[in-house]
Amino acid sequence: MSLPPKGERRPDPMSYGAAIPSGFGVNLLYAALEPALRWQAEVLEAQVLYWEDHFVIVRWGPSTWFAHSDWSYRDHPMTGAVQGVEARGPGAELRLYGLDPDAAEARARTAGTPVLAGALDKPHGLRESYLLDPEGYVWVPGVPLSG
């Protein structure tokens, strides 16, 4: 999956921020932003709305999230929490409801990234797989079980 050119369609920060609806948001910090971005586009089939060296806006279905490089957070309180940490997402699952877990698992294997758990039918009514992105965030695509 190709990415749009870097810096193309830069949103006005004030207008963009003012237009974010109420709800839950996620901002992910990465030591190496571009490999993670390419993984999200390839494995998760996420749409990259905007990207530059240190900031990304990504969408999958109705969900939008942001990613920042460590450099962009150099003066932020989170800097100490992630400095020198190998895996960034222990204890958190980033779930994409409606994304085919079998297909996402196959793309993760093709990309050479770890699959924590292959696609399985779960007792809570979903088929899920657990995939690690290049910096250790756990992504869980899942679809409802039929029948």
Give the pLDDT mean for 64-91.
73
82 versus 52: which is more confidently predicted? 52
For residue 1, the model assigns a pLDDT of: 61
* pLDDT for res 131: 95
> Quick check: pTM over 0.85?
no
Query: In this prediction, what percent of the chain has a pLDDT beyond 70?
Result: 86
Instruction: Kindly report, residue by residue over 94-109, the tens digit of the pLDDT.
Output: 999 999 999 999 999 9
String of b and e for 2-23 (b: at least 16 CB within 10 Å)?
Answer: eeeeeeeeeeeeeeeeeeeeee
The span from the CA of 92 to the CA of 40, in Å, is 17
**Overall average pLDDT of the 8-36 stretch:** 81
CB 129 within 8 A of CB 139: no
> Where are the chain's structural domains?
13-144
Span 26-51, average pLDDT: 91
CATH class of 13-144: alpha beta
pLDDT of residue 119: 97
Pairing of strands 63-69, 55-60: antiparallel
